[in-house]
Amino acid sequence: MANPIQFIQQTRSEIGKIVWPTRREVILTTVTVFIMAALTATFFALVDILIRSGLQGLLSIFG
């Protein structure tokens, strides 16, 4: 187990190695996530509509 002072020094050293994203990268990534979420929601909404109309069609034939 390391000395507490050495631990803090090593922790600070590791934190200094972190490369933080730029503001532009964060904005682009956020926009990409929102676009992909909207596309996924649209896709599943369309699939839901197709399945629902198919089941209603089947139930109207046999019901």
Please check whether residue 15 lies inside any domain of the structure: no
| Confidence (pLDDT) at 48 | 98
Total structural domains in the chain? 1
| Confidence (pLDDT) at 2 | 67
Distances (CA, A) of 34 to 24, 37, 43, 46, 47: 15, 5, 14, 18, 20
What domain range is 38 assigned to?
21-62
Please check whether residue 6 lies inside any domain of the structure: no
Identify the segments of the chain with pLDDT beneath 50: none
Please check whether residue 16 lies inside any domain of the structure: no
Please check whether residue 25 lies inside any domain of the structure: yes
| pTM of this structure | 0.67
| Confidence (pLDDT) at 62 | 85
Residues 30, 31, 35, 38, Cα dihedral to 10°: 60
Please check whether residue 11 lies inside any domain of the structure: no
